Every structure is written in C-alpha cells, then in structure tokens.
Structure 1
Amino acid sequence: MMDSRIVYIDADACPVTREALRCARAARVPVVIAGNTTQNLERHIRSDDPRDAGHARGRDAAHAGFWVEVLDVSVGADSADFAIVERLQPGDVVITQDIGLASMVLGRGGSAIGVRGRVYSKATIDMDLFIRHEEKKVRRAGGRTRGPAAFTAEDRERFVRNLTRLLTEAG
C-alpha cells in the first residue's frame, strides 16, 4: 500500500535521525531530512535507499513507497522549520524538538513528534508555547531555567515506539 504522507525530519541537532529512517523504511513512508548546509545529512542515508519517488516505484513490493531526500536549507534561525512548513500537507509527520514548528504542523493538519517520543497534541500545544514564552522571558531578564534532561535509551525507545504507531495508523 502506497501512503501519500511524508515524514519530515527537522535535522538540526536531531539525535534520532537513523531511528526515524528505520521506522519509515519499515512503514514504507517517504522521508525528507531538512537541515542547514553545514551538516552532513547524507551520512544518515544508506547507499541502497531510493532518493526519489521514481526510484522507489521500481523497488520490490516489500520496499516500495520509501524514499529519502535531503533538503538543504540556508544557515539561519528557523530555516529548516519554514522549509518544512512550506511543503507540509495534512497527514504528514514532522520530527522536531521545536515547539513552535510543532504548533505550525498541528495547525496545518499534520502530526508532530519530539525526539524523546512525545506526540504533540492540539489540546496542549498552547500551554507548551506559553511555557516556552515564559521561560524565555526569565532568561532574557538574566534568570535561569532548567535545561532538558540527558537524552536516554528510554527516550530513544519511546521515540521509536510512538513514531511506529504514528506511521502505522491510517493516514
């Protein structure tokens, strides 16, 4: 079954790119890795991965549907975010650590998942944005906020489990 949705990876500092590609291969869902040109995004892609839909169609049925493209964006704040939003269609899945991007994705009918496996929700995204704003105000005033906890094997497992669920649900 060929699925029309695409997985977008906001690759700037994404610790689960390989896992995301593995999940997408298994679900036969295409992937676009978006990041700035200073990164070597190609390192995540296997040499036998099809690089576009045309090459994916020529594959055997067990592998058809999956392909991966690298979307190089300029260096600069939010360049990858805007490149993803520009291409996003309802039903697409975006992997990001950025709550602002997650909010835009949800608003356009997509799904967003964080690198620790948290699936963002329309019901809570406004509160997430509010908390981010308040923490930014504290930092601008010279205060300190708590940073993220260390990334763990459990975070990676939760990510794989929840992304697999998102990709196998009806698009």
Structure 2
Amino acid sequence: MSPDDTPRAPRGRALIIDADACPVVREALACARRARVPVVIVGNTTQNLARHIRRDDPRDAGHARGGSADRPGFWVDIVEVPIGADSADFAIVELLEAGDVVVTQDIGLASMALGRGAEAIGVRGRVYTRATIDMDLFIRHEEKKVRRAGGRTRGPAVFTAEDRERFVRNLAQLLR
C-alpha cells in the first residue's frame, strides 16, 4: 500500500481556494486568518502560489494530502497541479470534505463542491446554493452552445472594489 492509498483522517473544516485566475486570494487568506480556519491553495505550477503567504503564516505542507499533523486553527498548504484544463478542479474535488468552503469562479466546481456537502463562493461574493446551481449550470451550457454556433455572449463585468467587499463580507459569514 503506497502512502497515497492510506486513508486520511478528517482534517476539519477548511477553506480551499481555486487559485487559477483568482483575484481574491489575499482577501480569502485574511478571512481565514481571522476565523482561524486552515487553507489549501490549489493552482498550476506556473503561478508562484507561495507569494500569497505571509512569512509568519504557519505552514502545514502535506496535511491536505493526508499528512499526519493535527494542527488546529489557521495554517496554509499549497497544492500545485500540472498545467491543463480542470487539473486544479480535479485536485480540489479529491481534497474536499463535507463542511469545507471552496472559493472558485468555476460553476462546475461549485456544483461538485455542493454535491460533496461543501459550500462554494464565487470571487465576486456570490454564494452558490443547491437551490440555484442547476440553473447556473443550464445558463452556462446555453451560453456555450451560442458560442459554439459562432454567436457571442456577454463577458464578465469589470471586477470592482464592491465585488471584493462583497466577497470578504460573504466569505467571513461562511467561515463563522
């Protein structure tokens, strides 16, 4: 049996950040520090994810991947994944436990998180719910069909300070 095959003990509630193109990593870390919730930052190897971590932040490398440390409160782990479509998403789904909170711009990942008993929040502060995720996925699918047929859909609005504030407010509420 390899170390990857050993069952991992539940780590308790964690904040998992889909760091691929995420504009609110620093804010998410600040919320987790205040709430004393562990964080796992997941992104591809080109991103220098460690730049988001302060020197005084406790690290718990390997914990998210089944390490034996039992560190209550805030700590940070980084999971680097290869460049490729959805590699961060698949890594996040593998790490997810019920009760975790996932920060993502990806509606598909948000849906998988909700299906596993976790919570999901978008980078603009929208909290995804089981009541609305099916409609979100349907809209995404319909827009994709329009684009495949050569049509155009409206892109995302400019990311604003209000989006950032809404994100911080709603994430702080989820982490309580």
Same fold by TM-score greater than 0.5: yes
Shift of residue 55 of structure 1?
8.2
Q: Corresponding residue for 2:169?
A: 161
Q: Share of identical aligned residues, percent?
A: 78
Q: Corresponding residue for 1:60?
A: none
Q: Corresponding residue for 2:5?
A: none
Runs of 4+ in 1 over 6 A off after TM superposition: 53-56
Q: Corresponding residue for 1:115?
A: 123
CA distance in 1, matches of 2:30, 2:144: 35
Q: Corresponding residue for 1:36?
A: 44
CA distance in 2, matches of 1:165, 1:49: 22
Q: Corresponding residue for 1:95?
A: 103
CA distance in 2, matches of 1:56, 1:87: 16
Number of residue pairs aligned between Structure 1 and Structure 2? 160
Matched, 1:76 2:45: no
Residue pair 1:56, 1:66 contacting (<8 A) in 2 also: no
Shift of residue 4 of structure 1?
1.6
Unmatched 5+ stretches in structure 1:
58-63
Residue pair 1:50, 1:56 contacting (<8 A) in 2 also: no
Amino acid paired to 2:125? G
* 3-state secondary structure, aligned to 1:71: strand
Matched, 1:138 2:154: no
Residue pair 1:56, 1:67 contacting (<8 A) in 2 also: no
CA distance in 2, matches of 1:55, 1:27: 20
Q: TM-score under structure 1 normalisation?
A: 0.90
Shift of residue 56 of structure 1?
8.5
Residue pair 1:114, 1:159 contacting (<8 A) in 2 also: yes
Unmatched 5+ stretches in structure 2:
1-10
Q: TM-score under structure 2 normalisation?
A: 0.88
